[in-house]
């Protein structure tokens, strides 16, 4: 009787050891997090929600400088644990015009007002809209540039340059929008910003650069 009970104990112990070995595997078969594509809105490939890509524009003059509240540029990583910036995390504004050579040059600035670090990588989407929300003019063309992943800590900013020909010089047909929609790379929801820059050409497309760290001032 004692011998039989000992065999039961040995069998139960072997089963428990096998169970412990299984729980301590290498974890390679575990569940993965949300796939999230790396952009271009957050990989080097530009967002499909941004304006259609072009072969670039040699006439795009962009606002210069990256002073002010700065993000961090990183061509390899957006920072540990960070994810791409959503419209709900950002506030936007249009910076001061820096005209030159018949061009109007405005920085489109977004600032991370959330409490979470996020990243931007590539071209934003941009569209002028009227008071009813209807788009005014064509989508901007993408100027040539090399997307770099920008890490936006809370309170940090990034900007993209929007340039178009002065309508008084070019003679292009114009309209006066009331707002501009700025869509982060790889996102569909835009950040709506008031437009106070006056008339814009609707017969010629504007030019748009990749996001850069800073506020474009």
pLDDT digits (tens, 9 = 90+) for 6-16: 443 334 343 33
Answer yes or no: is pLDDT of 193 > 50.
yes
Question: What value does the mean pLDDT take over residues 149-155?
Answer: 97
More confident residue, 18 or 178: 178
pLDDT value at residue 70: 60
Element (DSSP H or E) covering residue 120:
strand 118-120
Closest CA to 124 of 102, 150, 156: 150
Global pTM value: 0.65
What is the Cα–Cα distance from 187 to 189, expressed in whole angstroms? Answer: 6
Cβ(149)–Cβ(75) below 8 Å: yes
Give me the pLDDT at residue 217, please. Answer: 79
Q: What local confidence, expressed as pLDDT, does residue 72 receive?
A: 67
Residue pLDDT, tens place only, 94-150: 999 999 989 999 999 999 999 999 999 999 999 999 999 999 999 999 999 999 999
| pLDDT for position 162 | 98
How many whole angstroms separate alpha carbon 23 and alpha carbon 169?
72
Residue among 178, 179, 161, 172 at smallest CA distance from 205: 172
Residues 38-91 pLDDT 10s: 333 333 333 333 333 333 333 333 343 333 346 666 533 334 457 999 999 999
pLDDT at residue number 82: 72
């Amino acid at each position: 009787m004692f011998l039989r009970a000992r065999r039961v104990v040995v069998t139960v112990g072997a089963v428990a050891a096998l169970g412990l070995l299984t729980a301590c595997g290498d974890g390679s078969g575990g569940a993965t997090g949300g796939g999230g594509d790396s952009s271009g809105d957050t990989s080097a490939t530009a967002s499909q929600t941004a304006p259609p890509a072009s072969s670039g524009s040699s006439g795009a003059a962009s606002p210069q400088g990256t002073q002010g509240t700065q993000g961090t540029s990183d061509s390899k990583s957006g920072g540990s644990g960070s994810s791409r910036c959503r419209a709900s995390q950002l506030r936007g504004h249009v910076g001061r015009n820096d005209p030159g050579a018949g061009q109007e040059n405005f920085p489109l600035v977004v600032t991370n007002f959330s409490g979470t670090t996020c990243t931007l990588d590539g071209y934003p989407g941009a569209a002028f809209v009227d008071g009813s929300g209807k788009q005014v003019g064509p989508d901007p063309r993408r100027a040539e540039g090399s997307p770099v992943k920008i890490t936006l800590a809370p309170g940090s900013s990034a900007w993209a340059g929007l340039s178009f020909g002065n309508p008084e010089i070019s003679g292009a047909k114009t309209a006066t929008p009331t707002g501009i929609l700025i869509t982060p790379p790889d996102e569909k929801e835009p950040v709506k910003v008031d437009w106070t820059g006056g008339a814009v050409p609707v017969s010629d497309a504007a030019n748009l650069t990749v996001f850069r760290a800073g506020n474009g001032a």
